[in-house]
Amino acid sequence: MDFLPVDLATYADALTTPEPDLLRRLNRDTYAHVLRPRMLSGHGQGRLLALISHLMQPRRILEIGTYTGYSALCLAEGLAPDGRLFTIDKNEELETIARTYWSESPYVDQIDFRLGDAAIVLETLADEVFDLVFIDADKENYALYYDLIFDQVRPGGLILADNVLWSGKVVDPEQANDPVTRAVRAFNQKIHDDPRVDNVLLPVRDGIMMARKR
């Protein structure tokens, strides 16, 4: 679903810092060869993720849901010189695409890809403390991932979750019994009711929930 009229979306993109060439090629490659390419963060959202990372200059980033590696490259742009980005995905078929484009970036040695079920892989990262977390995986488990990583986020750290407007289904009465929609709505309410965070639901693209740990 396009939440902005096409002419306004085009205007916004035109006045947003352009995609670097590497990301533009990855964007095009994903749309040409991968199923459900809309899962890609894309230009506007990608620049927002990069800007947040630049502002925070994180030493440790966690990404749950890698897809073709576009958002990882955006988030890596702001990494501290000794920083590391851990990204988890269970789709081994897309690993080659992601690694191919990462290898052309300055961040190739800072991106640590972990293949497997996120709930299990997170156990191997139990000693890490994260400055920035980006959740963009199976929506039914957003709340689980949030609970699993919360204690590892430093005070002042930021948790981002993508697709929290779920193509508008979160406010569609006809989707009230859809299990994925219900999970997204429950997750949004969970974050909003959590006294440990300050949160904003940004209506950017398909919605990004931002929660800052107090």
Q: What mean pLDDT is reported for the chain?
A: 96
Give the pLDDT confidence of 179-201 residue by residue, as tens digits. 999 999 999 999 999 999 999 99
For residues 109-117, give the mean pLDDT. Answer: 98
C-alpha distances in angstroms, 86 versus 73, 104, 135, 182? 12, 18, 12, 29
Residue 28: pLDDT over 70: yes
C-alpha distances in angstroms, 29 versus 24, 49, 146? 9, 20, 31
Beta-strand (E) ranges in the chain?
60-64, 84-89, 111-115, 130-135, 153-162, 197-202, 208-213
Amino acid code (one letter) for 43: H
Under CATH, what is the fold of the domain 6-213? Rossmann fold (3.40.50)
pTM of the complete model beyond 0.85: yes
Residue 27: pLDDT over 70: yes
Helical packing angle, 95-102 and 21-33, nearest 10°: 160
For residues 77-103, give the mean pLDDT. Answer: 97
